Amino acid sequence: VKPPSSFTAEETEYLTNRIQNGGTEVVEAKAGAGSATLSMAYAAAKFANSCLRGLKGEAGIVECAFVDSQVTELPFFAAKVRLGRGGAEEIYQLGPLNEYERIGLEKAKRELAGSIQKGVEFIKK
């Protein structure tokens, strides 16, 4: 299955690189005098607001979250989550991926597995 996309392979690679390295670009633009703190603060505020709306019983609240899941073989993964009175009430599976996305996902999972292990070991201390 190939999700619809109007980007060429070159555009996809360029955009992926810019998104993955956006934080570094901000630090470089600020000559090391800061980071993308407003972006992180906005994301945290938006997520917290969505959690509160879900806990109040508002329907249809969906956010991305790094959760204990079975989306992949890893014990934790970032996925779309439907929030509600019970917290994360539904974790959505990944949609169809094209070849570029499948390769990127496999690479990310290898790196993520190590980070998850470090986190699990840290929390046991």
Q: What is the CATH number of the domain that holds 79?
A: 3.90.110.10
| Inside any domain, residue 15 | no
Domain count, the chain: 1
- Reported as a single tens digit per residue, the pLDDT across 27-57 is 888 887 777 777 889 999 999 999 999 999 9
Q: What pLDDT is attached to residue 2?
A: 60
In a domain, 31, yes or no: no
Domain holding 98, by residue range, is: 36-124
Q: Is residue 9 part of a domain?
A: no
Nearest Cα to 44, choosing from 68, 64, 25?
64
81: phi then psi, degrees, rounded to nearest 5: -130, 135
Model pLDDT, residue 98: 86
Cα 119 to Cα 17: distance, rounded to the nearest angstrom: 26
Task: Write out pLDDT tens, residues 89-117.
Answer: 999 999 888 899 999 999 999 999 999 99
Q: Is 81 exposed, middle or buried (0-12, 13-18, 19+ CB in 10 A)?
A: buried
d(CA 2, CA 98): 5
